Amino acid sequence: MRMKLLPLATIAAGLLVSLAAPSTFTAVPNALSNGQPLPSLAPMLEQVNPAVVNIATYTTTAVRNPLLDDPFFRRFFNVPNRQRYRRTRSAGSGVVIDAENGYIVTNNHVVARADDIDITLSDGRVLEAELIGTDQAVDLALLQAPADGLIEIEFGDSDALRVGDFVVAIGNPFGLNQTVTSGIVSALGRSGLGFEGFEDFIQTDASINPGNSGGALVDLSGALIGVNAALLSPAGANIGIGFAIPSNLVRAITDQIVRHGEVRRGYLGLEVQNLDPNLAEAFDTKDQDGVVVVSVASGGAAAGEIETGDVITRVGGREVQEIGDFHSQTAAVFIGDELKVELLRKGRKHQVTIAIEDDLQEQVGGEHIDSRLANTELQNFRNEDEVGAGVLVTAIAQGSRAWTAGLRKGDVIVAANRKEVGELKDLREAIGVQAQQILLRIYRSGRFGYVSIR
């Protein structure tokens, strides 16, 4: 039997009749039954929509044709030996968080590798934006645009969210400007999703599709409680499972970028794992809440305060039930902070305070180590199964001084100027020993090698 599609007006008329008809259920209030206007999100959205912008990025990439690599082919067809380039465009969303200074937050993956960034406001204006800083670990980036006539959004408290709270997602999915979808908070503190970096997501069933990335997730008062970041879908379209970065983490990260031009995250030097019933019994804890410390780096901030075998139950005032809770708290631990940690040691409760000092940084821009490492991102690295410890190159700009010398993303620096490197502090000290060159010993794809940067 074929289904007959009814006009939308017919469906709406039938719905109104059914609501007005007598029923054993309480009638839904509407304009026809009591003279009051229907509930609507429109007044809130009129205030919030102007703070959400469309982001267009433009990237120039080299186009390689294998035939043009053949000198005979070029001579035979008289093809000039010139490099060809292609300019590509992609789209995303952003949120104005500071109208006076023109600051706009979005996802790092929206603007990564972009040569030019344009933002389109709700009133149709198109402005050029400048990238101020990024945090690849949390997938956030901060842009700055001319501040004339911008409207900012108000931050909400993401820690106050509860599962079941109504939320609204605003963005530009598939290039459709100012699209609004609604839903509820499906879960909090989602982690273990396989994304890179720290994971502490708000899960929502408000539709989040490609192009929504970097847009706003707001509560019913219009306050920002998250920045849309990802969707879970086998086909690349929404199936009711979307994720947003909590607003409290967004505020902390953007404050760091404004103040320092980067995120000066502290290096705790801890590796942890989840408890299971056997481990909980072995470490004399009554339940499985918490994470057990399996490694403490000698150069980390936690050295001397936390020991292997400790079971961490609270970090910074928040309960830690599993690894995701631990990582979500350490994502917002910065240089200069004092972090309070509650733990169980041999069955007894302890509380320690860890001071995060200047030389205990988790990740830095290479220029803060040496000018010859500019346009690289460096991070402390530990993998006992392979190289042990070192400094990981998490990003490097093509054409930069270090890239030209042979350094690549994914390289692990294990020595510098013939001095062993186990963390960023060691790298900074080793490079200061010799001014003429930087001789790096690296580990790449199972093999060791050297890179010399002058």
**Cα distance between residue 316 and residue 340, in whole Å:** 5
- Asked if 426 is an active-site residue, the reply is no
Report the 10 Å Cβ neighbour count for 438. 24
User: From CA 73, how far away is CA 114, in angstroms rounded?
Assistant: 33
The rounded distance, in Å, linking the Cα atoms of 213 and 106 is: 7
- The neighbour count for residue 100, using CB atoms within 10 Å, is 8
398 by DSSP, 3-state: which? coil
Task: Of 276, 271, 273, 270, give the one whose Cα is nearest residue 288.
Answer: 276
* Residue 418 near residue 403 (C-beta atoms within 8 A): no
Q: Which one is catalytic: 207, 213, 247, 328? A: 213
Is 289 a catalytic site residue? Answer: no
CA–CA distance, 204 with 310 (Å, rounded to integer): 34
445 catalytic residue (yes or no): no
**Given 90, 93, 109, 200, the catalytic residue:** 109
Pairing type for strands 363-365 and 140-144 reads unpaired
DSSP assigned state of 361: B
Q: How many CB atoms lie within 10 A of CB 102?
A: 20
Catalytic option among 118, 139, 325, 411: 139
362: nearest Cα among 302, 322, 283, 288 = 302
Q: Rounded CA gap, 69 and 66, in Å?
A: 5
DSSP assignment of 366-387, as one string? Answer: GGGT-GGGTTEEEEEEEETTTT
Pick from 304, 363, 369, 307: which is nearest to 333 by CA? 363
Q: Which residues pair with 202 in a beta bridge?
A: 244
End-to-end CA distance of the chain: 76
Q: Cα 41 from chain centroid?
A: 28
Residues 6+ apart with CB under 8 A from 165: 184, 185, 219
DSSP string for 204-269: E-S---TT-TT-EEE-TT--EEEEEEEE--SSSS-SS-EEEEEHHHHHHHHHHHHHHSS--BB---
Residues recognised as catalytic: 109, 139, 213
